[in-house]
A and B are shown apart, each in its own frame.
Chain A
Amino acid sequence: MSHAVLGNYLIGLREGLEATLVVSILVAFLVRSGRRERLAQVWAGVVAAVLLSVGFGALLTFVAEDLLSPAGHELFDAVTSVAAVAFVTWMIFWMRRTARRLSGDLRGKLADALSMGAFAVVGMAFLAVVREGLETTLLFYAAAQGATTSRGPLLGITLGVATAVALGYLMYRSAVKINLSRFFTWTGLLLILVAAGIFKYGIHDFQESGVLPGGETHAFDISAWFNPDTWYAALLGGMFNISATPSVLEVVAWFAYAVPVLVLFLWPSRPAKAPASADRAAATPAAVAGAQSNGSRTSADAPASRT
């Protein structure tokens, strides 16, 4: 019983964590930028993704098991992963732009800066959830089908997903409390790691579905000390898709995404005809976060009024 609970608990935690992380950051961002009325769009995306997953999962489990071949399932995961990476990346740079405006002390114009399409908000919440949603509902149905012999699996996976949601809520609670510029920097960096992980995962699924080769060519094997069976592997795997035996192509994809995006994210503002490039350094989110944590505000002189 206890093994049945624990093993399935870790699966539920891992499956749910990434979605709750992305959604909680999106919610925190809308709340912090005074856009609470847009939260309905987030929940619309989440509900649509859950309904689609539950419905399609039921169809696959109870009606037409062969509707989606294993390769087709992997391909679905791969395509939704790449789409999710595109959305999250866009969100990262949108947050960065907002951070720059803040550093320029143009808070009055913040509302304009935050005009974000309804499609973007709904789409991001939807993709964040639907990506793992289908697989998670399939696991739920499998656990429920065995519930006649033991309730352990169903209890475990339910508690796991519930824990992921609770962690997402805690993430949101702390994100709405921290300094605003620090918020942009840290959530931005966190999202870059999440997106790099999703991209790696997408490549993995393209390899498993046979679209890309080299799925069995591993870059390294750290399973000796990074045991996939442990709680920390479930946490790291859930948030950043870290796995013990990634393929070479997965590792290449991770760096190919993470390095340029990190550089672009942390790069100081574009040089323009404005004077004193030293001022501009203050416009990077990192520098602003550092400055504000020291209690000093660099503000009015930063050239951040560009659109």
Chain B
Amino acid sequence: MRRTSVLTLALAGTAAGLLTVAGCGAGDSAAAQSVAVTATDTTCALARTDLPAGTTEFTVTNKGTKVTEFYVYGSDGSVKGEVEDIGPGVTRSLRADLKAGQYEAACKPGMTGDGIRTKLTVSG
């Protein structure tokens, strides 16, 4: 009985924590743009590079042989969003809330280096 109550407590605590975390920072859920990204060991192709401001969902498909990562950087070099551990043959998505401005998208095959960069223009 005691074990159960402790467990419930631990679960409730974590659930509360998750809800708090989920509540803060979750972007506008209205009409996200979808941009397909095809990554290989040497390329990083975005279906489009001009985007409207708001939430964009990048769906990154790894068609290479190495594990890759996908980043969106602001013009100051700060990370606006990233998705790691995209194994070969796997598609993972990244939702990023982008205001109007200049950005850079990067695929990082092999999980190292500055990545293969593509300029992104967000207008609103």
List A residues at the B interface (Cβ < 8 Å): 3-4, 6-8, 10-11, 15, 40-41, 44-45, 48, 52, 56, 65-73, 75-76, 79, 118-119, 122-123, 126, 130, 135, 138-139, 142-143, 145-146, 149-150, 152-153, 156-157, 208, 215-216, 223, 227-229, 244-245
Do residues A48 and B7 form an inter-chain contact, with CB atoms below 8 A? yes
Do residues A11 and B67 form an inter-chain contact, with CB atoms below 8 A? yes
**Alpha-carbon gap, A76 to B26, bound state (A):** 13
With A79-B17, A244-B112 as contacts: A69 and B25 at CB distance below 8 Å: yes
With A72-B24, A152-B89, A153-B87 as contacts: A44 and B3 at CB distance below 8 Å: yes
Mostly helix, strand, loop or mixed at chain A's interface? helix
Do residues B21 and A52 form an inter-chain contact, with CB atoms below 8 A? no
9 A-B pairs closest in CB distance = A8-B87, A3-B65, A4-B89, A223-B112, A228-B111, A7-B88, A69-B25, A4-B88, A69-B26
Taking the closest CB of chain B, its distance from the CB of A178, in whole angstroms, is 30
Chain A CB within 10 A, most for which of B3, B15, B82: B3
Do residues B112 and A153 form an inter-chain contact, with CB atoms below 8 A? no
Q: B77 interface residue, CB < 8 Å from A? A: yes
Do residues A7 and B66 form an inter-chain contact, with CB atoms below 8 A? yes
| Chain B residue contacts of A8, Cβ below 8 A | 67, 87-90
With A142-B91, A143-B87, A227-B112 as contacts: A72 and B25 at CB distance below 8 Å: yes
With A41-B3, A72-B26, A229-B110 as contacts: A48 and B87 at CB distance below 8 Å: no
**Partner pick for B82 among A15, A68, A143, A208, CB 8 A cutoff:** A208
Do residues B95 and A66 form an inter-chain contact, with CB atoms below 8 A? yes
Q: B50 interface residue, CB < 8 Å from A? A: no
Do residues A146 and B91 form an inter-chain contact, with CB atoms below 8 A? yes
| Chain B residue contacts of A72, Cβ below 8 A | 21-22, 24-26
CB-nearest residue of chain B relative to A230? B110
**Alpha-carbon gap, A227 to B88, bound state (A):** 17
Query: 30 A-B pairs, CB-CB below 8 angstroms?
Result: A3-B66, A3-B89, A4-B87, A7-B65, A11-B87, A40-B3, A48-B7, A52-B15, A56-B18, A65-B95, A68-B26, A70-B96, A72-B26, A76-B17, A119-B9, A119-B10, A122-B3, A126-B10, A139-B90, A139-B92, A142-B91, A146-B89, A146-B91, A152-B88, A153-B88, A153-B89, A156-B87, A208-B82, A215-B79, A229-B67
Q: B52 interface residue, CB < 8 Å from A? A: no
Chain B CB within 10 A, most for which of A69, A216, A223: A69
**Alpha-carbon gap, A156 to B88, bound state (A):** 10
**Alpha-carbon gap, A118 to B124, bound state (A):** 55
